[in-house]
């Protein structure tokens, strides 16, 4: 898991729509990473 600094002042200056869009993008990235991880472990099980 990567480490990111959270700048509360910067976030508070953004609109709620910008914040939700940014959060949605992060959720999408996390789901894609999970899917790639599961595909990799499935491929290892099939090959074993």
Per-residue pLDDT tens for 3-47? 678 888 998 999 999 999 999 999 999 999 999 888 877 655 555
Q: How many CA atoms lie within 13 A of 4 on its CB side?
A: 6
Between 9 and 2, residue with greater pLDDT? 9
pLDDT at 25: 94
For 26, residues 6+ apart whose C-beta sits below 8 A from its C-beta are none
CA 11, CA 28: separation in Å to the nearest integer? 20
pTM of the model: 0.61
Whole-Å CA distances, 46 to 26, 39, 41, 42 = 30, 10, 9, 6
């Amino acid at each position: 898991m990567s480490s990111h600094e959270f700048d509360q002042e910067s976030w508070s200056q953004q609109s709620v729509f910008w914040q939700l869009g940014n959060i949605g993008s992060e959720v999408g990235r996390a789901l894609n990473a999970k899917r790639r991880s599961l595909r990799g472990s499935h491929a290892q099980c099939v090959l074993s």
